[in-house]
A and B are shown apart, each in its own frame.
Chain A
């Protein structure tokens, strides 16, 4: 087993429950630095909640999570979130134009030093088949696929070492799925934990974790 310094994400003995019903019990997972892990399982088994646990957006009644070798607590969560980029299922981009939405996180104190990354925006938009004219479009007018690609681009621009993706291809066409798969595969520096039913896009995954509920887990 890899040492804690080599582990980007670690879940130990997590239990999840929803409205009194146990979803997951004794779930453990290690994702070493640079590995790509695909997590699959039936809907409602707690996959998305596991991702949220790594961000401190959901808390498990039992167990612990660690990010980049540090235990996630109320004190460490604020700095550990800077290690992670997260794309949620059917992202809510808020209000304003695409340009404003992309720009917004770079006003946060944690990301001000990353503003130069915005220089890669057009390149990434080209890669994901988004025209430059989209920048001045209001996000409320975007299709589900466009929103998903914008959310992915923002996550990439934030330049975090760990990427958590929740059903990132649910609204993408075959071509863009392929592009995303190739892009993630090429980024050997990135640790990726992706929740998806679409296993075809993520054939490059180093490990597939099948969640059955009540205690599945593994290490990659």
Chain B
């Protein structure tokens, strides 16, 4: 069974649905009309562009092209995390890129290689959507985790300095802050796992069902992807913090103000 295509005029009908949120925005004079319009235009343009590009990727199904796509996604996520955390891109871009790439690639390759037993680990049909889902969730978790980590140390500077003054090594002094950051980052994934299927039908499962698969097959994919996402989240947050620390702290263990976009003020 193949999925039913949506004609362009049918897709245009979907935009009619926007009348509902537009009504709410106008009625309550919510000051987000400009941002919403921009977001809608961006969503449309970005997805059309990605759709065209993915068509090429799926037609060619070339390992290097697929790998290139993954690297592009990781780069965009890297910049997005640094910006959202209000950190200086130049200071953390490289280590964060490595953490995101490693944290996304490891569960993705385990998924395609070990679970699905694909001959080609980078098969576009599996690697692109699975990698994208893992990375998308890692992105959200990393923003929460990395921002919590650096902001906590900045706002609790006295507590952190006290730990150093008491003889703690750098890894000992930052440990409670890493714990707090990882907890904040992983809590949404844990909550999602606990309520999945009850509160919402997850994206991958919906996609597999729409693709014509048996609901039980969809469930198995969903369970595997949830575990892969959770693994990726844990790895990218922990690695992201540890790897960016090298350039964020000086040799005395003091957090550099220059890592923040506002210079630490």
Contacts of B156 in A (CB 8 A): 92, 94
When C-beta atoms are compared, the residue in chain A nearest to B250 turns out to be: A74
Contacts of A175 in B (CB 8 A): none
Min CB–CB distance A100 → chain B (angstroms) = 11
Of the stretches A3-11, A79-87, A204-212, the one at the interface is A79-87
Quick one: CB contact mask for A74-111 with B, threshold 8 Å, 1 for yes?
11011001101110101111100000000001011111
Contact B158 A109 (CB under 8 A): no
Q: Which of B158, B167, B251, B253 contacts A105 (CB 8 A)?
A: B167
Contacts of A197 in B (CB 8 A): none
Q: A74-B251, A92-B159, A94-B176 are in contact. Are A57 and B164 (CB under 8 A)?
A: yes
Contacts of A90 in B (CB 8 A): 158
Contact B162 A86 (CB under 8 A): yes
Contact A57 B166 (CB under 8 A): no
Docked complex: B173-205 residues within 8 A CB-CB of A: 176
Quick one: CB contact mask for B243-259 with A, threshold 8 Å, 1 for yes?
00000001111100000
Contact A56 B254 (CB under 8 A): yes
A56 to B251, CA, bound (A): 9
A135 to B201, CA, bound (A): 48
The answer, yes or no, to whether B161 is at the interface (CB within 8 Å) is: yes
A184 to B161, CA, bound (A): 24
Min CB–CB distance B165 → chain A (angstroms) = 4
Residue from B156, B167, B172, B253 with most neighbouring chain A CB atoms (10 Å): B167
The answer, yes or no, to whether A55 is at the interface (CB within 8 Å) is: yes
A173 to B176, CA, bound (A): 33
When C-beta atoms are compared, the residue in chain B nearest to A111 turns out to be: B167
Q: Taking chain A's interface residues, is the majority helix, strand, or loop, or is none over half, making it mixed?
A: loop
When C-beta atoms are compared, the residue in chain B nearest to A79 turns out to be: B167
Contact A52 B163 (CB under 8 A): no
The answer, yes or no, to whether B169 is at the interface (CB within 8 Å) is: yes
Contacts of B164 in A (CB 8 A): 55-57, 81
Min CB–CB distance B258 → chain A (angstroms) = 13
When C-beta atoms are compared, the residue in chain B nearest to A155 turns out to be: B166
The answer, yes or no, to whether A152 is at the interface (CB within 8 Å) is: no
The answer, yes or no, to whether B168 is at the interface (CB within 8 Å) is: yes
Min CB–CB distance A47 → chain B (angstroms) = 16
Contact B168 A108 (CB under 8 A): yes
Size band of the interface chain A makes with B = 20 to 34
- Count, A-B residue pairs, CB within 8 A: 71
Q: A92-B158, A94-B176 are in contact. Are A109 and B166 (CB under 8 A)?
A: no
A142 to B238, CA, bound (A): 33
Contact B159 A158 (CB under 8 A): no
Quick one: CB contact mask for A47-71 with B, threshold 8 Å, 1 for yes?
0000010011111000000000000
When C-beta atoms are compared, the residue in chain A nearest to B157 turns out to be: A92
Contacts of B172 in A (CB 8 A): 107-109
Quick one: CB contact mask for A10-43 with B, threshold 8 Å, 1 for yes?
0000000000000000000000000000000000
Contacts of A77 in B (CB 8 A): 251-253
Contacts of B158 in A (CB 8 A): 88, 90-92
Contacts of A86 in B (CB 8 A): 162, 165-166
Contacts of A110 in B (CB 8 A): 167-169
Q: A56-B252, A92-B159, A94-B176 are in contact. Are A109 and B169 (CB under 8 A)?
A: yes
Min CB–CB distance B248 → chain A (angstroms) = 15
When C-beta atoms are compared, the residue in chain B nearest to A54 turns out to be: B165
Contacts of A81 in B (CB 8 A): 164-167
5 closest cross-chain pairs (CB), A and B = A74-B251, A110-B167, A105-B166, A56-B252, A86-B165
A–B complex contacts, Cβ < 8 Å, 23 sampled: A52-B161, A56-B254, A57-B161, A57-B165, A59-B252, A74-B251, A74-B252, A75-B251, A77-B253, A81-B165, A81-B167, A84-B165, A85-B165, A85-B166, A88-B165, A90-B158, A91-B162, A92-B156, A92-B162, A93-B159, A105-B168, A111-B166, A158-B167
